[in-house]
Chains A and B, each alone.
Chain A
Amino acid sequence: MSPVATAPVRAQVALRAERELRPALPTPTTRHASFEPAAVFAVAYAVYAGIGLYSTLALHIVLGDAESRFAHAYFVFWNAPAKLTAIGFYWPPLQTLVLLPFAAIRPLATSLAALPLVSGLFAAGLLVVLDRTLTLARLARGSRLALLAAFGLNPMILYFAVNGMAEVVYLFFLAFGFHLFVRWVLTPRWFDLPFAGIAFALGSLSRYEVAFWLPLVVAGAAWVMVQRRESLARIEASLVALIVPTLYAFILWVFVNWTVAGDPTAFLAVAHRPNLPAQGSLADVFLLQAGLFPLLVPLVVLLVVDVARRRSPVSFTIAAALVVNAATTGAFLLYAREQAPLLIRYNFRAVPLALIAIAWLLARFPRRRRRIGAIAATVGVALCIPATAETMLRTHNQLGESAFLHGLFTDRSQDGKPGPKGPGLSIADQTDMAQYIRRHVRGRNAILADDSQAFGVMLRDGDPRRYLDRIDFGDRKWLLVRDHPRNHVRYFLVERGATRSRDPVFYDRILDAYPSLARGPTPAFLRLAHENATYALYQIRRTDL
């Protein structure tokens, strides 16, 4: 038996001393009206949703990735059998998971209206986060809102907010994580760092590369605590709180890949596959990023100066965060020989952090200069708008950015506008085929389709049960049916241009078995039922001719 505890009272003395070191209850350092975040959100969401619905429904500006992701979210609920694994392992899971609530609402989903509504949510949330960060800098409300407006109307931000893609999702979490880090430095809120850890975890599940920013925050937090002479235990605990959520997220995702796909690294295998030959240099990277948001360069310079003068860990962290995007793009270009990282959307990642950098720098200004600084920053951010627009229109490595601007400027549908790999997505063709199928095809699993290509038709149709796709029973059974379709399915649905030669990863696997369906003669056992520029529906004859 252990000795009886001898000193609860003595322990009390020690505990009292400990208590003095215990983090104090948080005290807010800035005052803000409680309605402001809600108002910023409401206004931003209204604007983004409005523009987004217009661009999606009227201008038909829909990206294939966005539609594919959303379709697979839709299949989670409406497929037969309903499966969570319909989200697939190609993209990080959160990109699709955030779409689920809207995918459950059929009219929103099939009309594609859900796309801008989802991305608008996160874009509005991003503005709220940046507004809160600017509040930490004790800026007047007018200055804050002007800065926010200038940023929120940046064409790339606008594009992310309306296109239903996942960029704005991870940008939200990335910005939130950095906001919490800066707030933790400026105010004694103990919970900011653990929440930042969760933000980074969610960001990593939205885009794996967000994890690249986490070590910067970890290093910055450690440096701050060393400067504050915190105990080793506290430093350790704080870093654990930062890192563990992201670590757990990755372990969880690996486990899911292992149990479902049979390969724990399946997500890595598909995430980075070469799709275009590498063309470009580091200078191209710099010009691209500087062209997209010119203010990045002076901000980095100012932060580096602050690091040199005041040895500020936060300035170091934010400066490094602004540079990480360029660094990773350059690394992929040089060492992985990949072209994809030069896409515009992959080089805009650090831009929301620019506003956090502005907030941090302004917070360090004396009060009088802060107002001038805010005005200068607002002008700078506003001047980035035409720069960004120009880059969107001119840059070759893009995914619909110029079509978006053209559509807005000309009020004309951009349906089917060519993309970097050839003909662009055609909503009209999807709708046409879907309508035909709804009118003429009945029954469950009547149509064999490769969901990775036919997702648009399946979504527009609204009834995935009509299709025997790769989600239903897995690839093995699907391939068997593909090779021996009679008595299993009545139709084939193919995307004619999706051949393996066009894209070795994204191709229609029915065309793999029946290459003549792409542009050649129709096999004897099939009869062409309906076609348009993108899709063809073949009926399987009951007997051979």
Chain B
Amino acid sequence: MGSRDETFYRQLAERAGLDYVRLEAGAVDAEAAQLFPAELARRFDAIAVRVEHDALTVAAATVEAEQLAAVVHGVTGRKAHIVVTTPERIIAAQEQVFGSPPVLRTDRFLPAAQAPPAETAFLRRLAASRGLEFTELSALERECDVEAARLIPERLSRRLRVLGLGVDGDELRLTTAYPLDERALTVVESVTGYTPHQIIAPSSRIHAGLDRAFAGAGRRQPLGPPPTNGGRAYEAGRRLGELLIAARALSPASLRHALAVQRRTGDRIGRVLVSLGYISQERLAATLAEQLRVTHAHAYEVRPKGAVASALPESVCRAHLFVPLDIVDGVLVVAMADPVSSDAATALRTSTALPTRVLVATESSVRAALEQLFADRYVDLATVELVRRRPEESAHRVLPPAQKLFFLVLLAAVGIGLAIAAVPTLIALTLLSILFYFAGAAYKLALVSHGVRKPAEVPVSANELALLEDRSLPTYTILVPLYHEAELAAQIVEAIDALDYPKTKLDVKLLVEEDDAATIAAVRRARLGSHCHVVVVPDSQPRTKPKACNYGLLHARGEYVVIFDAEDAPEPDQLRKAVIAFRKAPPEVVCVQAKLNYWNRNQNLLTRWFTAEYSQWFDLFLPGLSATRAPIPLGGTSCHFVTEKLLELGAWDPFNVTEDADVGIRLARAGYTTVMIDSTTYEEANSRVYNWIRQRSRWIKGYMQTWLVHMRHPLQLWDELGPAGFSSFQLVVGGTALTVLLNPIYWGLTSAWALTEAGVIRHLFPGPIYFAAAFNLLFGNFAFTYLNAAGAYRRGYYDLVKYSLFSPLYWALMSVAAWKGLLQLVTRPSYWEKTVHGLAEASR
């Protein structure tokens, strides 16, 4: 049968003066085939085979070459060279290139958009000047016959911006956004068989009509970069900038500026234009839709139906920024924020067996839609993911049964000891405390000594910063949790805007709680750049900063992620320094910790002490930990992570109130390392004593939580951290909490002894124990006081040195906070004692 057809069509071709080809499988150039869209190819039983110079060779099962050539030329702009082949070979080639034929169409459509009045007036005048009719197309249901609209294939309709309204005899009443030229009219006539009768109408109404007519048309639209080399998007007049200029949405000067920025940053021009504020996200989405000849969905149109939540995998949607909206007659309607991305196209294609119809929407509307669809899942992931994956590393329980039993046995042993031999028991406890004090003090002094002799920060020179090209920078996610901080919203936005990092490569998530209306309103009032996104965290327990950060992290698209608090003012080059540090560091480095300090240090005595303490911690102590590769309890902000690794670790523990310290230990246990950079984030130091105590009580409670969590399996911890790391963990994390708890007890005993010389106290401190205790008291306290002064000196806060000498008074406050924290650990372990900010005066 085949050979007889071939004979027939060969003879047909000879008679028509056309070439005959035996179209083999694989002979069709897929890119060339895409030039002549599938719907037209099926209509004409043809397929574009290859491009030769400026001509397109089209294989057809017909000898009516003239008409086909006209259509081909009209659609592709190229001369057509028609060759003949059998229908079977045409069909086989079409199936190979275009896939299965489209499904049935339906009448369902999307809501219409309204044309702006200015356009209407202009079009009226245009129509009048050309002697054409004008219609506003305000009642599509009445005015537009869907069948008439479908006489012209959708792609052609959109390209030409025409909408068939109805057939009147042998005329096709055709609305068009601009008067068609002869060629276009010829194409329409060739395609439809009717003589087109032009009527001018607003293009938005025409598109709405097309949406209505072709909703559920169910074709797999080829996505990704424009269909062919030198395809539509890159044709002269079809590039994004050109389209925007043509639509008078952008000036040539602005485009030139944006192109210059693009050359420097390597970002896509659309993102650059939005970040520079030249166009809105909506305009970008609409222009992309026009460029790619797909439908633009406005923000209010991106409203997914709940039933489609399972149509696409949530993680894929989140990663590639598309959201299923609806299933119409078996066709999945999907809103995409990045239709140009081949990764997104591939992900969509491989994620569903359903045919898809793509609409272009803004990133924010897609995200909002994802939130609407998957909020519960996000909350679940943010809250219990770590508990699910690594329950033993979560503080959702303060004391698991085994640990509870251990402490009960320990308490019982101490109780029995006190009952049987009180004094020896107390002496033993005293001895243990003193040894712990001494070990902690000696270790910290050794760390500081190590850190000052050999700077541990990853060096980043001014030259390296200067040579770092914007286009080589990765996307950076910044998480900014905000809660009851409406007055600081504008401040943090300003601080982030001050960062020296291409805005197109920033992915800022302002995390606000659902019940915090004031902050939400403040954030929305703030002048947010396109790089800032407001993420509303649904109200759920526990309401903690780490849970909010986990929620935000789900949407992070940066290669690196960092947290900044609302009152933070990071140094502008911090992100660049972090990038350089990551690139210089070995692969096991997954965290870079910047330094923290305070900008209101001179506000009062408390802020001076606080600043001296922070200076000592971040400028002397942490570098020592880093230099010795000990596990580092991270600071609350300005810890930069490799996003992928953070997710691998389970991100932050939402039940731990010092999630930063906890994640620092977890990454050490996983074999990863933290390094430091010499860059500072300035925060607001607590200037009110009660507020300070609340904050410090949370920190110490968190350290206790962290210690308890990681000591659930001490042997495993020993294996993972090694003996040195294990010891460091005990002395730093455990020791920090324990010493401030014990301090008041021993200060009290010392004072009582000095005043009364009571014999019972003397018995508690026999010989060597007394010597050790005296050494700790006299030299240990001085050493740490001096360290605070040294920290302030190191940082250049010379005026704080003399205040640091009164640090023991500050430590008394810490002890008050510690006992408060301990009590709260029992009664409300995951309660987040929110620190009030915005109380500071700018530092002189």
- 4 cross-chain pairs, A with B, having the tightest CB-CB distances, nearest first: A82-B767, A237-B798, A22-B796, A237-B801
CB <8 Å contact, A241 and B680: no
Asked if residues A5 and B838 are in contact (CB atoms below 8 Å), the reply is yes
Asked if A81 and B842 sit within 8 Å, CB to CB, the answer is no
Asked if B786 CB lies within 8 Å of chain A CBs, one says yes
Q: Could you say which of B139-147, B327-335, B491-499 contacts chain A?
A: B491-499
Q: A190 an interface residue at 8 Å Cβ cutoff?
A: yes
Q: Residue on B with the closest CB to A13?
A: B498
Q: Which residue of B lies closest to A193 (CB)?
A: B793
**A9: which of B569, B778, B799 is its contact (CB, 8 Å)?**
B569
Asked whether any CB of chain A lies closer than 8 Å to the CB of B162, the reply is no
What string of 1s and 0s marks CB contacts (under 8 Å) between A1-17 and chain B?
11111111111101110
For residue B789, CB closer than 8 A to chain A, the reply is yes
Indicate if the CB atoms of B790 and A241 lie closer than 8 Å.
yes
Which one of A211-219, A228-236, A458-466, A494-502 is at the interface? A228-236
Contact status B795-A236, CB under 8 Å: no
Which residues from A are CB-within-8-Å of B778?
252
Contact of B841 among A2, A77, A190, A231 (CB under 8 A): A2
Whether B571 and A12, one on each chain, are in contact in the complex, defined by CB atoms closer than 8 angstroms, is: yes
**Is the CB–CB distance between A236 and B802 below 8 Å?**
yes
Scan residues 218-248 of chain A and give those whose CB is less than 8 A from a CB of chain B. 231, 233-234, 236-238, 240-241, 244-245, 248
Give the residues from 73 to 119 in chain A that come closer than 8 angstroms, CB to CB, to chain B. Answer: 76-77, 81-84
Q: Which of B487, B599, B774, B793 contacts A241 (CB 8 A)?
A: B793
Task: State whether B794 touches A12 (Cβ < 8 A).
Answer: no
Interface size class of B (residues with CB under 8 A): 35 or more
Is the beta-carbon distance between B682 and A81 smaller than 8 angstroms? Answer: no
**Most chain B Cβ neighbours within 10 Å, of A2, A12, A84, A259:** A12
B402 interfacial by beta-carbon distance below 8 Å: no
Closest residue on chain B to residue A82 by CB atoms: B767
Known: A2-B841, A194-B789. 9 other contacts (CB 8 A): A2-B839, A5-B841, A22-B796, A82-B768, A84-B770, A198-B786, A240-B789, A245-B782, A248-B782
User: A191 near B: Cβ within 8 Å?
Assistant: yes
CB-based contact A26/B796 at 8 Å: no
Contacts of A248 in B (CB 8 A): 782
Confirm or deny: B678 has a beta carbon within 8 angstroms of a beta carbon on chain A: yes
B477 within 8 A of A: no
Cβ–Cβ < 8 Å partners of B805 in chain A: 240, 244
Q: Please name all residues of chain B whose beta carbon is closer than 8 Å to the beta carbon of A8 when the two chains form the complex.
A: 491, 494-495, 567-569, 599, 682, 684, 842
Hey, what's the 0/1 contact readout for B489-525 against A, CB within 8 Å counting as 1? Answer: 0010011001000000000000000000000000000
- Which residues in chain B, 756-788, are within 8 Å of chain A measured between CB atoms? 766-768, 770-771, 774, 778, 782, 786
Choose from B786, B792, B798 the contact partner of A245 (Cβ within 8 Å). B786
Chain A interfacial positions (CB closer than 8 Å to B): 1-12, 14-16, 18-19, 21-23, 25-26, 76-77, 81-84, 190-191, 194, 198, 231, 233-234, 236-238, 240-241, 244-245, 248, 252, 259
Closest to B570 in A: A12
**Nearest CB on B from A315, distance (A):** 26
Cα distance, A4 to B805, chains bound together (Å): 30
Residues in chain A near residue B789, CB distance under 8 A: 194, 237, 240-241, 244
Output the nearest chain B residue to A8 by Cβ-Cβ distance: B569
The answer to whether B798 touches A4 (Cβ under 8 A) is: no
- Count A/B pairs, Cβ under 8 Å: 125
Q: Is B179 an interface residue (CB 8 A)?
A: no
Instruction: Give the residues from 419 to 459 in chain B that come closer than 8 angstroms, CB to CB, to chain A.
Output: 452, 455, 457
Residue of A nearest to B787 (CB): A194
Supply 5 A–B pairs (Cβ within 8 Å), ascending by A.
A2-B839, A8-B494, A11-B842, A23-B796, A82-B768
Nearest Cβ in chain A — how far from B325, in angstroms? 41
Contact across chains for B774 and A21 when beta carbons are under 8 A apart:
no
Contact A244 B843 (CB under 8 A): no
Query: What is the minimal beta-carbon distance from A181 to any residue of chain B, in angstroms?
Result: 16
Do B840 and A5 have beta carbons less than 8 Å apart? yes
Report B-chain residues with C-beta under 8 Å of the C-beta of A23.
794, 796
- Evaluate contact between A12 and B796: CB separation under 8 angstroms: no
- Measured in the bound complex, the distance between the Cα atoms of B786 and A81 in whole Å is 34
Report whether A194 and B839 are in contact in the complex, using a CB–CB cutoff of 8 Å.
no
Q: Are A259 and B754 in contact (CB under 8 A)?
A: yes
B203 at the interface (CB under 8 A from A): no
A83-B767 in contact given A15-B599, A234-B798, A244-B786 (Cβ < 8 Å): yes
- Tell me if A191 and B682 are in contact (CB < 8 A): no
In the complex, residue of chain B having the shortest beta-carbon distance to the beta carbon of A7: B842
CA distance A81 to B754 in the complex (A): 20
Q: Which of B790-833 contact A (CB under 8 A)?
A: 790, 792-796, 798-799, 801-802, 805
A194 lies within 8 A of B793 (CB): yes
The smallest C-beta distance from B798 to any residue of chain A, in angstroms, reads 4
Residue B687 is within 8 A (CB to CB) of chain A in the complex: yes
Distance (Å) between the CB of B704 and the closest chain A CB? 31
Q: Which residue of B lies closest to A259 (CB)?
A: B754
B680 touches A233 (CB 8 A): no
In the complex, are the beta carbons of B799 and A194 less than 8 A apart? no
Tell me the nearest residue of chain A to B491, going by C-beta. A8
A6–B599 alpha-carbon span in the complex (Å)? 11
Chain B neighbourhood of A77, CB < 8 A: 768
Give the residue among B754, B767, B792 with the most A Cβ atoms within 10 A: B767
B residues in contact with A259, CB < 8 Å: 754
Task: Say if the beta carbon of B86 comes within 8 Å of chain A.
Answer: no
- Contacts A12-B495, A25-B455; A5 near B684 (Cβ below 8 A): yes
